[in-house]
Amino acid sequence: QEYTIEFVPKVRIEVAVTDAQVPRVIETLTRAAKTGSIGDGKIFVRDLSAAVRIRTGETGETAL
């Protein structure tokens, strides 16, 4: 038997935002990416234990 596998191109986007911004970012990404077809993607929300802006030394939410 012969068959063809067609791969769907994928893009990975990583965004670090404050907790307060999470709902808006999810809504925006969902609205922009949703086509209703297989391959629309997934959104994973994870805790970020620390953030440091190397240039200024800022930490936490101010580094975002």
Contacts of 38 (CB under 8 A, 6+ apart): 8
Tell me how many helices (H) and strands (E) the chain has: 1, 0
When the pLDDT of each residue in the chain is averaged and rounded to a whole number, the result is: 92
The whole-number pLDDT of residue 3 equals 84
Strands (E), the chain: none
d(CA 62, CA 64): 5
Using the 8-state DSSP alphabet, how is residue 45 labeled?
Answer: -
d(CA 59, CA 61): 7
Render pLDDT for 15-44 as a digit per residue (tens, 0 to 9).
999 999 999 999 999 999 999 988 889 999
